[in-house]
Structures are given as C-alpha cells and as structure tokens.
Amino acid sequence: MPTDKTTSTTGKSPDVSQILRVADPATAGHYDELRQAGGLRPQWARFFEQSGLARPGEFDRRADDIAAQVRENGITYNIYAETGGHARPWPLDLLPFIIEEDDWARIAAGVAERAALLEQIMGDIYGEQTLLKEGFLPPALVQGHPGYLRPLIGAKPPGGTHLHIAAFDLARDEQGEWWVVSQRTQAPSGLGYLLENRLIVSQLFPTAFRDLNVQRIASAYRHLLDRLKEDAPNPDPDEPTRIVLLTPGPYNETYFEHVYLAHYLGIPLVEGSDLSVREDRLFLNTMYGLEPVHAVLRRLDDDFCDPLELRSGSSLGVPGLVQAMRAGNVLVANALGSSFLESTAIHGFLPGIARRLTGKELSLPSLPSWWCGERAALEAVLPDLGKQVIKATYPGSAERPSFEPVIGAGLSEEQRAHWRGRIASDPDAYTLQTFLPLSQSPTWDRKGRIVPRGTMVRVFAISTGKGEWEVLPGGLTRIAAAGQNSVSMQRGGSSLDTWVRTQGPVDTFSMLPGRIRPEDIGRGRRLVSSRSAENLFWMGRYSERAENGMRLARTAIQAMTSPETPPPSALASLHRLCLTSGLVPYGTPSPGEARDIFLRSLLASLTDANAAMSVRFCLTSLVRTADHVRDRLSSEHWRLVLQTRDGFVPRPTRRKGMPLFTPAEALVSLDRLGMELAGLTGAQTDRMVRDDGWRMLTIGRQIERLSFFSSALEAVFGSDSQPSDEALDFLLTLFDSTITYRAYHQRRLQVPPLIDLVVLDPNNPRSIYRVLKVIHRQVEKLPDSAAGASADLLAGVPPYEPTPSLSSLCSRDLLGGWSNLLELTGNCASAARMLSDEIGLRYLSHTQGGESAYLS
C-alpha cells in the first residue's frame, strides 16, 4: 500500500488555503469538526501538513488504495435488507476522525463512570432489586421489557462481573459538547472493524499518524482476554482455560468481525451447534470428543442463546447454557439479561440512579430522554413532538412491531398528530429523545470536494476488575449518508478510523505473543470442532465435485459440438456418467437419440442452483462450507473460494426458454473455472497446516475422487466390451491424465496402458490405487475415538497394496466383459459411500440421531 512517504509526485504538502478551497463548511446548526473561525482546526492543519495530500488526484488515489485494501482483506458487512446473500465491502472513508487529548480525557472518564453504573444496575436488578423497590426504575419498564430474563434472577456470574464490555454511541452538539445517544450491552459490535480501520488508515498515513502522536489500542484487547481468563471458572489448574467466541454464523451482518476478532484474540470461533451442556458444564464438540469450555465471548443476542429457557425457536444458541451459568460453571461475557439497558427509555433515569448509587452527577450527559409510560413525561413532551425523535422502548415483537426512529422535525403537522395518537394509545411502547444535529466530519466525495457528513462515535469500555474500567483509546466512528442526520451502515453510511491524540508516551504494546522458549513448543493437536470438521470434509468434497463436474461438462459439450460425431458407445458412456453425476436430470434422452435436447439440458443445468449436483450448486455449497470455517482460511484462500462462485456467471438469457449459456460461452466459462479450481486445490494442498482439519478436507476430496473415478470407469467399461478410442480419450480427460499418457505412449490409445495409468500407477495422484493409498494414510492419522481406533474405519476400503496385476484387470470373462475391473470399481464406489457415512457418525456428531447438513 502506498504511504505518505511517497505520496505526491511533487513531494509537497498542501497549505491551508488549498484545503479550504476544496472543503465545504458544515451545515448551519452543526458543529464543524474540520473548521474553526479563521481556518482549519489545529489538528487538521497538522494532519494535512504530514499527509502528502497535495492535489485532488492524490485524494482519489488514496481512496482507491483503501478500497483495494478492503477487498484484499475481505472486510465485509452483510445487509439484511438485501436479497442475493452477498456481503458488501466494508465502507471506510479516507480521512480519520481526530479527537484531541483534553476532549478524550472527558470522554474516557465519563464512559468509565457510566460503564461502572450499568454494572451496578445489573447487579441490583438481578439481585436485591433496590432500584425497583425505591422507585428509581419503573417496574413496568424493566420487568415489562423482553430483555429482562427472569431465569437469571439471583444468578451471580463468575468473578462477579456482568458486563465485560460496554459500548456508548456519542455525538457532539452545535457547541462541541459530547452527549451519550445510546448504549450497547448485550454483544456490542465494532471491536473488530475498528481494528481493521486502524490497520488500513494508519498505514496509509504513517507520518501523520506518528506526528499527531496517536494512541495505540492493542493493550485493551489483551486486558479483555486477561480478565476473561481471570474470571473464568476452571476447576482444574493443570488444564488451560478455554475461551471461545460464539457467533450466530455467516449470515449475521457483522460475521467478518467475528472471524477477525477470533483470529486477533487467538481463540476458537464457534457456533451454537459446536457447544453442548453436560451435567451443567459447557463443552466444545470436537473430533476427539467433548472438551471443556470455561468462558464464552458472545456475539449472539440474549434471547437466542438458549432455546431451552429463552427463545424456543432459536437454532443459534446452546440448550442448557442458562443452567450452566446459574450453576457458576461457565463465564458468559457479557452476562445474559442486559438488553433492557439498551432501551433509550433507561437514559432518563440514569442521573437519579447515579446520585442514588454513587452520590455524584454523571459527568457525561445523556441526550434528554422521556419514557412515555410515565404520565408526567408524556404530558410534558408530547405537545413538543417537533423537537424530538420518536423511538421504540422495546425491541420488536408480534404485539409491538419495531420501527426505525422517526425525527419529529421531518413530519408534517398531520403526521405529528397521527404519531401523538399512536403514542397515546400505547405510551409504554414509545420513548422520546431530544433531536441532536450531529457534528459533521470531513469526508472525500471523489468529486474533488471535501464534504461534511454527520458523525457518531462508538466508544468501548472494558472491565479490568474490582469496579475499574479501561476505555479503549479510539472507537468506531460512523458517518451518515449524504444529506442525512442519522447514522446507519445499512442505509449508505460509512466509517472512519478514530485517532485519539496524546501528549504523553504512546502505548507500544502488541498482541503478538511474547518470547517463546524452545521448551514451550509442543506438537499437540489443534482442536477441531465437529462442525468445523464437517464443513472442512464437505468443503473438500464440493471442491472435488465441482472440478469433476467441470471436466465432465466440458468433455460432453466438446463432444456434442465436435464436427466428428463420436461412436454411439462413447456417447452412451457420456450420457450414463452425466446422469449419475447429476449434470442432466434423469429422463434426458441420450445424445445418440436427441443430441440437441441433451445439449440444451446440459447447458441449462450448469447454472441451476436448485439442482443438487449441478456445477453451480457445488460452487455455492463450496462457499457455504468455507464460510463456516473462515477462521481457518487465509484471506487469499477465501478470495479464491469466492472467485470460483462469482466468476461462474453467464450473461442474462436473451429470451425466455433459451439456456443461459451458449456452447461456446459455456466452454470459456468452464475453462476459466478450471483454472480457478486449480488455484483452490493449490491453496488446500500447499497453504494449510496438516492438522486434523486439513486431514478431513483431504479425506473428503479423496472420497469424492474415488467415487467419481469409479463411476467413470464403470460407465465406459460396463457398457462396452471394446471401448472406442473416443471413450478412452474421454476417460483420460476426466482423470486429468492425458498429458501423462501421451508422454508415455504417444497417441496409441489402448486399454492396458490406460488401466495401468489411471488405476495402478502409484505416481499418478489421480489413479485409483494412489487415491486409496492417500485415504488409508490420512484416515490412519485421525484420532481414535470411543467408537474405536481410526484404522477400523478402513475395514471396508480396498487395501492399496499389494495391487492387483495389470493382466487380471485387463482380462475378459466368458461374455467378453471386464468383470475383474468392474468388481474393483464397484468395491471402491461402495467403500467411498461407507467411509463417508462412518466418518460422519464417528467424528461429525456427538448427539444421537445427528444428520449431516450436506448432500452425499
């Protein structure tokens, strides 16, 4: 990535007048983060002096660098409202958001104070309930909130801390004063995205970053991990404390962040199906059995965490988790039951609670908020609706559907009257909050202008124990879409890196591990969860299946479009294999009977996402399985996976009833897909550590290869006593062995040398017996289980040595058939099915009746 050491071609920095000429002032009534009377604010003048942004063209080039780095790092954000299932690139703007040291000191002190107060409220509400009894919180607001979890009343979390992380959304008013707009306590998002923002933007402007003395943020993450380890209940001091990050899975809007945080913190990323509760203790389902889990850093909302006691329809949580928490056997951070604190209505009661519990006023104020469930508040503010923002008190439900905040100033008088009626009919469900014109930060619009956009900063407080809090010196700054005053990433908003300046020394802590001594290095197994093992196994199978389907489809299309018609027996073999491989539906006539119908059916099925064996289905399934194990894949590997799916897209149909591909287009696309799959194979074989996860992927590939190659040999030799040259050539193509065969035997196509190469040759990675050898060796290295030794799985798999003689495989029976060869292919096909089933039963499920989510 280019840096500001080599930015402008002139080597000059812009003067203030240059920046002021291209920078629009903030909208009247909004605080201008860039300008002050007489010019730029000092921090921005200094930034531009060191940034190397001398010309508009340089702004564009740097913005392109950011976009390229976001793509390179695979940073994404899912938009729930969109269809199609593809995540968008994470929006990151060019210029940082800069906070001066004195501003930050007030923010940090106020945020730490508020985090401590929320922790006290949690302890009281699920304990003595003094605040309810004394009227500091209305019982209807707390106990009527779906986030108040009665199953956890009286439960005390290990270590005594309910909230290990608290996040606060802050904004400035017209005078530059900071206000708390909202707070997040369930599973605050942003800790991963702000890390990526920092990595990208700081590398883009390293000189400015150093010159402005921007505080580092890594130590806050280390302190979070240390606190989780300290509080986690681990009854065995000789056993390492195991912390996992619980994610809802790939369809969550911030899934990238979950993967990134797990990588950064060095902890396993798990889904609910990875965990089980036994005798009130939490376990990770692994290939080796159940392994204890002592702490869960969750990114799953409260009510989804336990379908047994909370939301019964949730498939994302862990049955029995609440009971394990009540028993004090697992730390869940944050503790369940805090979502009522996220209601805007709570803000109006915090000043009184602070005075009651601490004897002090809050130094960082909340925006004035009124819960309409209090009659006095309702009567005071409802007439003045034009100055308020209407918000839902509770999350959406069937009885009370959720709605987006409504800015009263943007309503007509008729609309305000309508809302007054709605609020009066169910006042508990509504909260009014004073409208705040957001401060506006400089952003680059790629049209030659620096334009102001509404700004909100999410700041994170991390518990360090004994009531103390550390505020991460930075935050996730979000900016509104052009012309908007509300910040929403799902409605065209973007993000900024947040630079907090300091006059003191910069924290140089790194999350890189300390010095590791030779005696500390072991060769223990890296735990592989059952879900990860299953997804890696099927990732291998779908990778191989897609490649086999690509070769078969390309071979069939070339045969159908060749000016020389292959013999009927060769076409019959192709037809049979296309049927068994799912490339054409059963009932499709053979090409010998109706070539055009067969070809149209084949072309149409290539991109049929609903056909369970189509090339498109395999590629989509490949992405799905890989998405579930992204924490185990390099960014390059993940991009290759996406490229295989996204690149195999035909042009729109020209008219109804026409196949999506023409034959020529299909061949071009299949050739390109072949190259991409070759790259993916390289990533899987040469870029992954040979642990049990990789072993499952490899076994999956080899099982699929054995099954397909056995079917290919059976399709040719099972229907033709004397295969034609064309049929033998088809086989060599499907085995990807044409070049090797010609190197040995030129173009003399004969059965014995072909059988030797594709069945017996130990040096051909695509021969049947080489595949059997790989399967045997990798299965033998799998861990033993309670069901028996891993070698027992091979009972039904033909041995890879000694190999049968070539003469026996080439011998013919009395009817002229290839009975010995076909017996071998039949045994191999059966072994592939049996081994897949046995691996699933032994390693991929730890509950009775478990079924694979994938198609065999």
pLDDT at 79: 65
pLDDT at 238: 84
CA angle 72, 76, 80 (to 5 degrees): 160
Residue 854 predicted with pLDDT over 90:
no
pLDDT at 856: 59
pLDDT digits (tens, 9 = 90+) for 208-221: 999 999 999 999 99
pLDDT digits (tens, 9 = 90+) for 716-726: 999 767 899 99
pLDDT at 6: 39
pLDDT digits (tens, 9 = 90+) for 555-581: 999 999 998 889 999 999 999 999 999
User: Span 234-248, mean pLDDT?
Assistant: 92
Cβ–Cβ under 8 Å, residues 171 and 33: no
The pLDDT confidence band at residue 855, using thresholds 50, 70 and 90, is: low
The SS3 of residue 655 is: coil
The SS3 of residue 850 is: coil
pLDDT at 82: 46
Range 353-361, long-range pairs (CB < 8 A, 24+ positions)? 353/117, 353/121, 353/131, 353/136, 353/137, 354/113, 354/117, 356/131, 356/134, 356/136, 357/117, 357/120, 358/117, 360/113
pLDDT digits (tens, 9 = 90+) for 738-787: 999 999 888 789 999 999 999 999 999 999 999 999 999 999 999 887 67
Token pair 């150093």: residue: 210
Distance CA 20, CA 713 (A): 74
Distance CA 599, CA 591 (A): 8
The SS3 of residue 389 is: strand
pLDDT digits (tens, 9 = 90+) for 24-79: 999 999 999 999 988 999 999 999 999 988 777 889 999 999 999 998 888 888 76
Mean pLDDT of all residues in the chain? 90
* Buried b or exposed e, range 812-832, using 16+ CB within 10 angstroms: eeeeeebebbbebbeebbebb
The proportion of the chain whose per-residue pLDDT surpasses 70, expressed as a percent, equals 93
Identify the H or E element spanning 514.
none
pLDDT digits (tens, 9 = 90+) for 125-139: 999 999 999 999 999
pLDDT at 611: 84
User: Span 814-831, mean pLDDT?
Assistant: 94
pLDDT at 655: 52
Range 259-262, long-range pairs (CB < 8 A, 24+ positions)? 259/630, 259/631, 260/75, 260/192, 260/195, 260/196, 261/191, 261/192, 261/195, 262/631
pLDDT digits (tens, 9 = 90+) for 307-355: 999 998 888 999 999 999 999 999 999 999 999 999 999 999 999 999 9
Amino acid residing at 683 = A
pLDDT at 519: 45
Distance CA 214, CA 208 (A): 9
The pLDDT confidence band at residue 491, using thresholds 50, 70 and 90, is: confident
Distance CA 44, CA 63 (A): 18
pLDDT digits (tens, 9 = 90+) for 248-293: 998 898 999 999 999 999 999 999 999 999 999 999 999 888 999 9
Residue 17 predicted with pLDDT over 70:
yes
Amino acid residing at 521 = I
pLDDT at 665: 92
pLDDT at 265: 94
Residue 645 predicted with pLDDT over 80:
yes
pLDDT at 53: 84
pLDDT at 484: 86
pLDDT digits (tens, 9 = 90+) for 778-795: 999 998 876 778 888 999
pLDDT digits (tens, 9 = 90+) for 74-129: 888 876 544 445 678 999 999 999 999 999 999 999 999 999 999 999 999 999 99
- Token digits for 483? 């012309």
The SS3 of residue 625 is: helix
Distance CA 129, CA 232 (A): 26
pLDDT digits (tens, 9 = 90+) for 170-214: 999 999 999 999 999 999 999 999 999 999 999 999 999 999 999
Distance CA 674, CA 734 (A): 12
- What is the set of domains in the chain, with CATH numbers? 100-344+438-504 (no CATH), 368-434 (3.30.1490.270), 530-843 (no CATH)
Distance CA 202, CA 211 (A): 12
Helix axes 615-627, 635-647, angle to 10 degrees: 160
- Token digits for 686? 């040469």
Burial, 95: exposed, middle or buried (Cβ in 10 Å; 0-12, 13-18, 19+)?
buried
pLDDT at 748: 86
Question: What is the DSSP pairing of strand 295-298 with strand 331-333?
Answer: parallel
The helix, strand and coil proportions of the chain, stated in percent and rounded to the nearest 5, come to 45, 15, 40
Distance CA 856, CA 768 (A): 20
pLDDT at 466: 80
User: Span 526-546, mean pLDDT?
Assistant: 93
pLDDT at 650: 72
Q: Cα(first)–Cα(last) distance of the chain, in Å?
A: 44
Range 509-513, long-range pairs (CB < 8 A, 24+ positions)? 509/216, 509/218, 509/219, 509/222, 510/218, 511/218, 511/221, 511/222, 511/264, 511/265
